[in-house]
Structure 1
Amino acid sequence: MKHKIIPIPKIEDRRGNLSVIEKDVVPFAIKRVYYLYDVPAGAERGGHAHIAQHEFLIALSGSFEVVLNNGTETTIVTLNKPYEGLLIPNGYWRELKNFSSGAVCLVVASEVFEEEDYIRNYNDFLEWKFNDKP
């Protein structure tokens, strides 16, 4: 599976818009939802990869960049629309940076938190990606 931007259905109304994430939007069963906010200027989040977990990131408010690395190439995706999300399959190193003031990042995950699923060192990620992975 490759990372990609997925549109989130948007219901427009003069009173305000509504977007809905249901089973047809993300290609996995949702087991955990969390969000990042009040990220200080210049701070970065992420800096890890997942062995099994898939994630879907949405900029609910403001903007931020997601730097994705599959072990051979790097892509930078800017998230700034609450009606679009970034699907990040397992096996991608990710870093979140350049958060605007007031940015809120919603993360929809395929798994509950398990520390064993995280690869927190980039060289360990490369070793797993190219040598250990079945």
Structure 2
Amino acid sequence: MSVKSQIIQINSLSDERGSLSVIESNKQIPFEIRRVFYIFSTKENIRRGFHAHYKTRQALVSVSGTCKVFLDNTIRKEEVILDSPNKVLILEPNDWHEMYDFSDDCVLLVLASEHYDSNDYIRDYDEFVSVYGNKQYLLL
């Protein structure tokens, strides 16, 4: 049984020097972080992603700027706007996801539960539906 993606709010500490937010494995992020990457300087009208995973969970945060994320777990389809460094989108393996409408200053940070493995990616939508289409989901 898989769980549904969710938005987590990260607390910030602020004073006259600025703000600081903390993200830690198994605390704010509900998994062990094994890989970190970020997407930036994305060209206008470019969509990224177009995949799901067999086992990788991810946390997405727009540390600068904004972007949109389309999610599809075969039961629900929704669009999430990432527009704050305090808003973290937790993606489950069963989330087909596409990122788009990146602002010029967008830096999208991605924290992943697994090291990169090309065999973990489901890049064909029909295969994604055959893997996850008949599953029942626990909604958080």
Q: TM-score with structure 2 length normalisation?
A: 0.91
Partner of 1:127: 130
Q: How does 1:90-109 map to 2 (within 5 A)?
A: 90-109=93-112
Report the number of matched residues. Answer: 132
Partner of 2:138: none
SS of residue paired to 2:131: helix
Partner of 2:17: 15
* Contact 1:9–1:21 (8 Å) recurs in 2: no
Q: How does 1:40-51 map to 2 (within 5 A)?
A: 40-51=43-54
**How many angstroms does 1:22 deviate by?**
1.3
Deviation per CA, 1:19-73: give whole Å up to 9, x if none: 0101310110000000000000000110000110000000010000000000132
Comparing 5-14 and 100-109, the one that deviates more: 5-14
Q: TM-score with structure 1 length normalisation?
A: 0.95
Partner of 1:4: 6
* Structure 1 runs of 4+ with >2 Å offset: none
**How many angstroms does 1:90 deviate by?**
1.0
What percent of counterpart residues are identical? 38
Structure 2 unmatched runs, 5+: 136-140
